[in-house]
Amino acid sequence: MSKEKNKAQKVINKAADTATDSIEAIMPATTKAGGVVNRVASLDKAGVDHEVIALQMTKNSARGNKYEKEEIPTLVKVYEDCKTRVPLSAKSARTLVQDQEKYGSQQKGEEVNVDGNASPSPSV
């Protein structure tokens, strides 16, 4: 009976995976990203090595992105923060974008003029 139960569970899991994959194909990127962050946190909690998680994500990246094991804890932290509230609100993001558009970039050695200080920002 155990073999039959195991076989039935495999069929159910395959059907669930197929349904989830089909639904995700039409979801917006924000929803997909949340799902991935959830999965990464679940894999981390289960003790899956971060290098394995990063490799899996790299192999499945539709855009050829390379993920590093050092990036996995950041995704786990985002998940943990989101259990209580988001670490970056819509209002904060909107304000940062508006400031960026108004004042421009401060990355890659571009000059920064804040209160008369004309020193370049550090290169990243």
How far is it, in rounded angstroms, from Cα 94 to Cα 51?
A: 34
**pLDDT band at 116, cuts 50/70/90?**
very low
What rounded mean pLDDT belongs to the chain?
82
Calculate ∠ Cα 38-36-5, nearest 5°: 70
Mean pLDDT throughout 58-75? 97
Does residue 109 register a pLDDT over 70?
Answer: no
How far is it, in rounded angstroms, from Cα 73 to Cα 80?
A: 10
SS3 111: strand
The pLDDT, as a whole number, for residue 120 is: 44
The pLDDT, as a whole number, for residue 4 is: 79
pLDDT digits (tens, 9 = 90+) for 32-63: 899 999 999 999 999 999 999 999 999 999 99
**pLDDT band at 104, cuts 50/70/90?**
confident
What is the torsion angle, in degrees rounded to the nearest 10, for the CA atoms of residue 82, residue 85, residue 88 and residue 91?
A: 140
Domain ranges for the chain, please list them: 2-87, 88-124
